[in-house]
């Protein structure tokens, strides 16, 4: 059974690109367990593009590159499973993958069966080199149906980049998560752009089919396949906080074999992970703030009656935010207020007179788990 909360795990693309091999996957699986990341819920270990040979075999099946994966993909999957993790792979709805390896167009059922035989639990399905005459919804319906009939539970990650009005039809395809934007890069402008693009599609995410804001760049520091200027730890903290609060899948993109303490501390914030993984998967909604541009505020109702509220300063200057509880359905007339616990610094405050005023440092964020109490 594929769970209905946002998938969590690790993907090879952000750091390694085409530079992948079975030893990297074995070492990463080991480290996911040793560090405790797997115990926190990061369970999928996904190999992205560039794993295959450029030609299919005589039976039309995909073939793993024997130089990179000399023992074959079944052996890689078996090792990942032996660590208590789940194994993911990559293909594409087009004739070719984004890196020009064989795509799955017109081979959907063959490839789904192959992935099932190899022990795959997760398929990232890209959108490069797709047909110019067949709409994306039909291409993703094909693979969705193939996966449903392959004999194995395989999580379907649709990487459509939000193209062709993806939000309007992606649930029809049985996709469990779907990319809502173009690719992430390790710079602040990309992070801000992805956040901005979410606001119009927040109503489309929910249990079993999540708006995927792309893989995390936490801990990359400008290195690797998508490394550009890099971010500082405060920016990585805010990046992770928004992804978590908005209910995005949390797929680590850094090299977990060599991550520093700051990176681990961000990725392992248990209170934020609990918010991200809340069983109700309620729609996130935007809040109004009495503050400047590039200051974001979002909230979502949680399973036990709590409310998660986040304030995000995307600017390079300290700001003051003012927030009214009326927006959450708690005007002063109810006689109720919020006890707010901040998930990073541990501060607990009780809101007075229906108004919260807070200072937020440059690029920083405050995320609260809130409990309704008597005023």
Report d(CA 103, CA 91) in Å as an integer. 6
- With contact defined as beta carbons under 8 Å apart, do 171 and 209 qualify? yes
- 46 sits in which H/E element: strand 44-46
Whether the CB-CB separation of 250 and 219 falls below 8 Å is answered with: no
**Would you give the distance in Å from CA 130 to the centre of its chain?**
24
How far, in Å, are 86, 148, 217, 334, 347 from residue 226 at the CA level?
24, 32, 8, 49, 35
Q: Is 255 within 8 Å of 267 (Cβ atoms)? A: no
Residues 6+ apart with CB under 8 A from 60: 107, 110
Q: Considering only CA atoms, which of 232, 183, 253 is closest in space to residue 37? A: 253
Is residue 272 classed as helix, strand or coil in its secondary structure?
helix
Which stretch of DSSP H or E encloses residue 264? helix 261-267
183 catalytically annotated: yes
Catalytic residue among 48, 49, 121, 126: 126
**Other CB atoms within 10 Å distance of the CB of residue 241:** 24
Q: Which of these is catalytic: 65, 183, 233, 326? A: 183
233 is catalytic: no
Residue 302 host element (H or E): none
Backbone angles phi, psi at 126, to 5 degrees: -85, 180
Residue in 263, 291, 286 with CA at minimum distance from that of residue 357:
291
Kindly give, in sequence order, each residue whose CB lies less than 8 Å from that of residue 47, ignoring residues fewer than 6 positions away.
Answer: 12, 20, 25, 76, 88, 89, 90
Q: Transcribe 194-253 into DSSP letters.
A: HHHHHGGGGGG-BTTBEEE-----TT-TT-STTBSS---HHHHHHHHHHHHHTT--EEE-
CA distance 374 to 332: 11
Q: Please, are residues 338 and 305 in contact by the beta-carbon 8 Å criterion? A: no
Q: Catalytic residue numbers?
A: 126, 183
């Amino acid at each position: 059974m594929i769970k209905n909360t946002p998938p969590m795990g690790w993907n090879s693309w952000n750091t390694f690109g085409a530079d992948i091999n079975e030893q990297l996957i074995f070492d990463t699986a080991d480290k996911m367990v040793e560090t405790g990341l797997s115990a926190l819920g990061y369970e999928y270990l996904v190999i992205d593009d560039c794993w295959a040979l450029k030609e299919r075999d005589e039976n039309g099946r995909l073939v793993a590159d024997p130089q990179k994966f000399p023992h074959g993909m079944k052996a890689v999957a078996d090792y990942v499973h032996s660590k208590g993790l789940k194994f993911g792979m990559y293909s594409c709805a087009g004739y070719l993958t984004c890196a020009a390896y064989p795509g799955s167009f017109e081979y959907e059922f063959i490839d789904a069966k192959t992935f099932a035989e190899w022990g795959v639990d997760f398929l990232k399905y890209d959108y490069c080199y797709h047909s110019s005459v067949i709409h994306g919804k039909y291409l993703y319906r094909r693979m969705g149906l193939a996966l449903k009939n392959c004999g194995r539970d395989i999580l379907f990650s649709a990487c459509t980049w939000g193209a062709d009005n993806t939000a309007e039809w992606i649930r029809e395809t049985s996709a469990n998560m779907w990319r809502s934007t173009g690719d992430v890069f390790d710079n602040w402008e990309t992070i801000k752009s992805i956040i901005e693009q979410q606001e119009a599609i927040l109503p489309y995410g929910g249990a079993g089919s999540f708006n995927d804001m792309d893989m995390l760049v936490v801990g990359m520091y400008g290195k690797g396949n998508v490394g550009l200027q890099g971010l500082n730890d405060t920016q990585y903290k805010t990046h992770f906080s928004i992804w978590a609060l908005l209910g995005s899948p949390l797929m680590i993109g850094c090299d977990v074999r060599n991550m520093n303490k700051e990176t681990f501390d961000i990725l392992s914030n248990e209170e934020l992970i609990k918010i991200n993984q809340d069983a109700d998967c309620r729609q996130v909604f935007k809040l109004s703030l009495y503050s400047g541009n590039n200051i974001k505020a979002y909230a979502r109702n949680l399973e036990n009656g709590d409310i998660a509220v986040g304030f995000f300063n995307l600017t390079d200057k300290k700001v003051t935010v003012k927030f009214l509880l009326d927006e959450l359905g708690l005007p002063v007339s109810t006689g109720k207020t919020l006890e707010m616990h901040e998930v990073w610094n541990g501060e607990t405050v009780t809101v007075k007179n229906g108004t919260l005023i807070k200072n937020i440092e440059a690029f920083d964020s405050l995320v609260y788990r809130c409990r309704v109490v008597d005023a």
